[in-house]
Amino acid sequence: MTRKCIVWGAGNYGRRLVPMLDEEGYAITAFCDMDRELEGSRIHGYEVISVDKAAEMCRGDKGLSVIIGIFDYAAAEDVKGRIRDQFPDHTDVKSGHDIQDAYENRILRLCHQNMVFRWNVELGEAFQTWLDHLMSEAAYWVKEVADRRGRNHGYNVMCRKNDSFDHKEILREIRADETVMDIGCGLVSRFGSRLGHGGTVKLVPVDALAHFYNVINDRIQDGYKKDYRCQFGLFEFLGNTFGRNYADYIIVDNALDHCIDPWRSLVECLYVLKTDGRMYMNHRRAEAVYEGWSGLHRWNIDCDGGDLIIWNKENAVNVTERLKEIADISVTYDDAGGVRERQNLGVRIVKKKDFELSAFLGLHKENAVLTGMVDRLMEKLSSDSRVFLDMLEGAEYM
């Protein structure tokens, strides 16, 4: 049955709800917004009206619902209060998060029911997709994190000031001088190296954008992290960079879902991890579904029962089952907190024994793949490098 609704909020989140509302059986009548300058404009063909006009429409139609298309929870609660004051008592009000939850949960149920466990990722092709979004990822770290006007700049300041190693799970086990890799660390690892009892750990921050991060961090003169350096490492080829049995612990926070090939990346992490070493991961559950498959969000880190699964529209692997001979894997997530947007998936992996990469990965094409990746990278540099383009502009041609 189709239900009519007005979407309160003409910003990005309200716009994002349009296909979800359609899938969930809602017919949008209009958008409304408190910004008077938006009145009369259109979003996906729907008119933006005033809040007063929206209240008037609800008084004339008891079947008309209001969907709050505002991402911020506190702001959405304020809107609910306004609706209680200005709209008729019979008005049905729902949060956009409620709609998104229903939409995502239905997708996940269908995907899990119909999932075919196969893995056929062509690294060369996938690398091109990753490369196409590389500069947008770098732009995020410059504009939203490093820039003091960025919305996540406060988090960056906190990371730069922190010199303590405060990973709760690892703190229970770690000893001084052990090696901890923070893979996919971002601009600055949120972990320091100092232990509470006075010792230190060897913290190794690793990221594919390490060279970009180091250039950015060199420009920040705040007195913190003076000698900080991120080490370059592609998830998919960590074994080549760090070798077997390098780390005592590995941390991966919200990074595996950005990989070119997350299954291969996970195997490479275990190869680099020492026997009896621990790996801890934390991700928003099924991030690609949540982000609408946008940008680098191509993979879902997910669970089915107690098993860790990685999947997208074409591939799926039951990691727990595939790695049971070499690793013990435990998965936890709390779905009692309400909306899926807040559901974080926690994974703990203990490496049981050593192994050869060839037992899990097809390595026979690796040299060709790496050559192709370098080829594409050089091609991109030839068209995007400011230094090279400036050279071209300064030359005289026939």
Tell me the pLDDT tens digit for each residue of 155-184: 999 999 999 999 999 999 999 999 999 999
Q: Give yes or no for a contact between 183 and 235, defined as CB atoms under 8 angstroms apart.
A: yes
What is the widest separation between alpha-carbon atoms in the chain? Answer: 77
CA–CA separation, 121 and 106 (whole Å): 26
Quick check: do 3-111 and 115-363 share a fold? Answer: yes
Q: What is the DSSP letter of 230?
A: P
Q: Tell me the mean pLDDT in the region 118-140.
A: 87
Q: How is residue 382 written in tokens?
A: 């030839």
Q: Tell me the mean pLDDT in the region 57-74.
A: 95
Q: Quick one: which H or E segment has residue 344?
A: strand 344-351
Record: fold of 3-111 = Rossmann fold (3.40.50)
CA–CA separation, 314 and 308 (whole Å): 17
> Is residue 336 predicted with pLDDT exceeding 60?
no
> Is residue 10 predicted with pLDDT exceeding 60?
yes
Of the candidates 324, 343, 345, 199, which has an alpha carbon nearest to the alpha carbon of residue 280? 345
Of the candidates 107, 38, 109, 33, which has an alpha carbon nearest to the alpha carbon of residue 67? 33
- Phi, psi of 191, deg, nearest 5: -100, 140
Q: How far is CA 266 from CA 181, 269, 287, in A?
A: 13, 5, 17
Q: Give yes or no for a contact between 261 and 123, defined as CB atoms under 8 angstroms apart.
A: yes
CA–CA separation, 318 and 46 (whole Å): 43
Task: Return the pLDDT at 339.
Answer: 66
Provide the residue ranges of all domains of the chain, joining segments of one domain with +.
3-111, 115-363
> Is residue 193 predicted with pLDDT exceeding 60?
yes
* CATH homologous superfamily of 115-363: Vaccinia Virus protein VP39 (3.40.50.150)
Q: Tell me the mean pLDDT in the region 260-276.
A: 97
> Is residue 337 predicted with pLDDT exceeding 70?
no
pTM: 0.86
pLDDT tens digits, 245-257: 999 999 999 999 9
Q: Give yes or no for a contact between 213 and 230, defined as CB atoms under 8 angstroms apart.
A: yes
pLDDT tens digits, 301-318: 999 888 999 999 899 999
CA–CA separation, 299 and 311 (whole Å): 6
Task: Return the pLDDT at 290.
Answer: 86
Lowest-pLDDT range, 36-50, 266-280, 336-350?
Answer: 336-350
Instruction: Please report the DSSP string for 313-340 in residue order.
Output: SS-EEEHHHHTTTTEEEEEEE--TTSSG
